[in-house]
């Protein structure tokens, strides 16, 4: 049981001109369960880090006060647990049980009490394996569930969840929400930052909307908040519940195949697949994790050689993976799941100019393409920024723009809408629909049902569905 009081709280990271959060007055009482909302850039994650006592005093400037049970958050750290996005950077140990024990060791819990507590909390979050299960053998959802167990083992009075499902596929996200619901009782105060609002709502009884630029815009029960502010929040990119996008399907028949596979497979990663993508159509590849969706995207993107079967494209005698890189980018544009992997320069504009330059386009032509793309993807304001400093949505738009810069007829995207706010989502969908009507072929690997429903002309499901997402842990 913990309460949180903020009085005029503000925080500015060193070296930044703008305040991440400012003028925040907020009171959260024992056992309340709060969803923290706001457009991206409203400082939600910074606020959670401040409440968790994880902002070192010398890392920025603060104003106002923040208190956990009347204490400075840096002194109340043993009352607060926080779960972050990425399970890979939260797990410490090689074996699952050891990882949960790690926090208990740090807090000086006597050795005799550690293992019963570990076993107990693993049961509570529904961890399905033995304690000696290697953490490297866990799926994303399982690993995040283990990370949650590691946090809950410390019995925090206040639990903070910072977009805990953002890096997970839908079944993995479901595992985490289930585990949170099972494992937190009425005596745990809960604060969640989560942009999949509809899914998070069953876990909360209060919604607080932060105003970008400072203060609280709205605060109350979910029904009241979404009735009053739903449309405005939706415009700002928040995934408010009850979202429906009208389908955008191809209006004409696809042209001849741009790329075709014939029983192409990669041993150990992808079973034989025969598919084709024509100009003017959007093909969605769906299916659970581990069925080789991303591998298929690499095959079609000319980035990987099949170990059996064939891939042919653009009537070329050579398979795409044998093409020179410059030839490849002129024909097929690939957009990776992690946008940052694709950035190779230190300015947004250079990033866009790179492809056309390598194809030997004239400087005037390069400038025209760059300006047009900056405009089309709302990046003009950021032309001089370093790509690594962009927000998630901006980085995604830039990674798509870089693939478009060489005007390839075929676009291969891996989870293009993953973790995007509603506004970026809408823009991506509209952009891909426009590209389709210009005759481009699009293949998207995706978990996003709304994306498939709205845009896909054809869907290719890979693999078999996974068994029960919530198996019980076997007792040794």
Where on the chain is the footprint of other proteins (CB under 8 A)? 52, 54, 77-78, 81-82, 84, 86, 88-95, 98, 101-111, 114-115, 118, 135-136, 147, 150-151, 154, 298, 301, 303-304, 324-326, 328-330, 333-334, 336, 338, 340-344, 354-355, 358-359, 388, 402-403, 406
Query: On the CB side of 450, how many CA atoms lie within 13 Å of its CA?
Result: 18
| Beta-ladder partners of 324 | none
Shortest separation between residue 433's beta carbon and other proteins, angstroms: 23
Cα–Cα distance between 34 and 340 in angstroms, integer?
32
Taking the CA atoms of the chain, what radius of gyration do you get in angstroms? Answer: 24
- CB 297, CB 460: distance < 8 Å: no
Residues whose CB is less than 8 angstroms from the CB of residue 173 and which lie 6 or more positions away in sequence, other chains included: 141, 165, 196, 199
Token pair 């990271």: residue: 13
Residues whose CB is less than 8 angstroms from the CB of residue 475 and which lie 6 or more positions away in sequence, other chains included: none
Shortest separation between residue 155's beta carbon and other proteins, angstroms: 12
Shortest separation between residue 55's beta carbon and other proteins, angstroms: 10
Closer of 59 and 255 to other proteins (Cβ): 59
Closer of 72 and 340 to other proteins (Cβ): 340
Shortest separation between residue 241's beta carbon and other proteins, angstroms: 30
Closer of 218 and 332 to other proteins (Cβ): 332
Shortest separation between residue 45's beta carbon and other proteins, angstroms: 12
Closer of 225 and 285 to other proteins (Cβ): 285
Closer of 342 and 459 to other proteins (Cβ): 342
Shortest separation between residue 48's beta carbon and other proteins, angstroms: 11
- CB 35, CB 206: distance < 8 Å: yes
Please report which helix (H) or strand (E) contains residue 10, including its range. strand 4-13
Closer of 207 and 264 to other proteins (Cβ): 264
Residues whose CB is less than 8 angstroms from the CB of residue 195 and which lie 6 or more positions away in sequence, other chains included: 163, 166, 238, 239, 419, 421
Closer of 218 and 353 to other proteins (Cβ): 353
Cα–Cα distance between 101 and 104 in angstroms, integer?
5
Shortest separation between residue 347's beta carbon and other proteins, angstroms: 15
Helices (H), 38-110: 44-51, 96-106
Shortest separation between residue 300's beta carbon and other proteins, angstroms: 11
Cα–Cα distance between 392 and 371 in angstroms, integer?
21
Shortest separation between residue 303's beta carbon and other proteins, angstroms: 4
Cα–Cα distance between 295 and 285 in angstroms, integer?
11
Closer of 218 and 444 to other proteins (Cβ): 444
Count of Cβ atoms closer than 10 Å to residue 246 Cβ: 6
Closer of 75 and 368 to other proteins (Cβ): 75
Closer of 162 and 394 to other proteins (Cβ): 162
Cα–Cα distance between 342 and 395 in angstroms, integer?
10
Assigned token pair, 408: 């390839």
Closer of 110 and 467 to other proteins (Cβ): 110
- CB 302, CB 323: distance < 8 Å: yes
Closer of 54 and 431 to other proteins (Cβ): 54
Strands (E), 289-446: 308-313, 332-335, 410-414, 441-445
CA dihedral 264→256→455→340, nearest 10 degrees, is 60
Residue 150 class from Cβ within 10 Å (0-12 exposed, 13-18 middle, 19+ buried)?
Answer: buried
Shortest separation between residue 357's beta carbon and other proteins, angstroms: 9
Q: What is the residue-wise DSSP string for 317-385?
A: SS-GGGS-HHHHHHHEEEE-SSGGGG--SSSHHHHHHHHHHHTT--HHHHHHHHHHHHHHTT-GGGTTS
- CB 120, CB 151: distance < 8 Å: no
Closer of 78 and 375 to other proteins (Cβ): 78
Shortest CA distance to 199 belongs to which of 240, 156, 235, 233?
240
Shortest separation between residue 349's beta carbon and other proteins, angstroms: 15
Shortest separation between residue 156's beta carbon and other proteins, angstroms: 10
Shortest separation between residue 449's beta carbon and other proteins, angstroms: 26
CA dihedral 408→275→439→333, nearest 10 degrees, is -20
């Amino acid at each position: 049981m913990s309460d949180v009081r903020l009085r005029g709280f503000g925080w500015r990271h060193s070296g930044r001109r703008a305040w991440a959060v400012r003028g925040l007055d907020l009171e959260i009482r024992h056992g309340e369960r709060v969803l923290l909302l706001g457009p991206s850039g409203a400082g939600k994650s910074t606020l959670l880090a401040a409440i968790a006592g994880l902002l070192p005093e010398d890392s920025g400037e603060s104003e106002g006060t923040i208190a956990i049970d009347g204490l400075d958050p840096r002194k109340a750290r043993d009352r607060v647990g926080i779960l972050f996005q990425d399970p890979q950077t939260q797990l410490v140990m090689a074996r699952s049980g050891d990882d949960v024990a790690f926090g208990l060791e740090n807090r000086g819990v006597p050795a005799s009490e550690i293992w019963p507590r570990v076993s107990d909390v693993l049961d509570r979050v529904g961890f399905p394996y033995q304690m000696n299960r290697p953490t490297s053998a866990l799926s994303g959802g399982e690993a995040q569930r283990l990370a949650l167990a590691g946090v809950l083992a410390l019995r925090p009075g206040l639990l903070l969840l910072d977009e805990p499902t953002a890096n997970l596929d839908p079944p993995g996200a479901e595992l985490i929400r289930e585990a949170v619901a099972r494992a937190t009782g009425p005596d745990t105060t809960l604060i969640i930052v989560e942009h999949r609002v509809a899914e998070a709502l069953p876990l909360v009884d209060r919604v607080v909307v932060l105003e970008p630029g400072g203060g609280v815009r709205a605060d109350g029960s979910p029904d009241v908040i979404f009735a009053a502010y739903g449309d405005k929040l939706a415009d700002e990119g928040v995934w408010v519940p009850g979202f429906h996008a009208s389908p955008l399907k191809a209006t004409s028949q696809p042209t001849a195949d741009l790329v075709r596979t014939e029983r192409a497979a990669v041993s150990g990663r992808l079973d034989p697949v025969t598919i084709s993508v024509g100009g003017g159509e959007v093909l969605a590849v769906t299916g659970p994790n581990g069925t080789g969706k991303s591998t298929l995207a690499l095959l079609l993107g000319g980035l990987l050689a099949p170990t059996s079967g064939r891939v042919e494209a653009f009537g070329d005698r050579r398979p795409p993976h044998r093409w020179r890189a410059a030839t490849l980018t002129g024909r097929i544009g690939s957009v990776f799941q992690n946008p940052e992997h694709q950035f190779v320069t230190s300015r947004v504009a250079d990033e866009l100019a790179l492809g056309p330059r390598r194809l030997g386009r004239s400087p005037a032509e390069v400038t025209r393409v760059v300006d047009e793309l900056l405009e089309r993807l709302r990046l003009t304001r950021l032309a001089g920024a370093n790509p690594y400093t962009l927000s998630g949505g901006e980085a995604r738009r830039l990674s798509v723009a870089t693939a478009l810069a060489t005007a390839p007829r075929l676009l291969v995207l891996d989870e293009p809408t993953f973790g995007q706010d509603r506004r970026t989502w809408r823009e991506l969908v509209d952009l891909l629909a426009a590209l389709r009507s210009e005759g481009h072929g699009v293949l998207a690997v995706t978990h996003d049902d709304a994306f498939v429903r709205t845009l896909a002309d054809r869907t290719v499901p890979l693999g078999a569905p996974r068994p029960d997402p919530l198996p019980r842990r076997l007792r040794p």
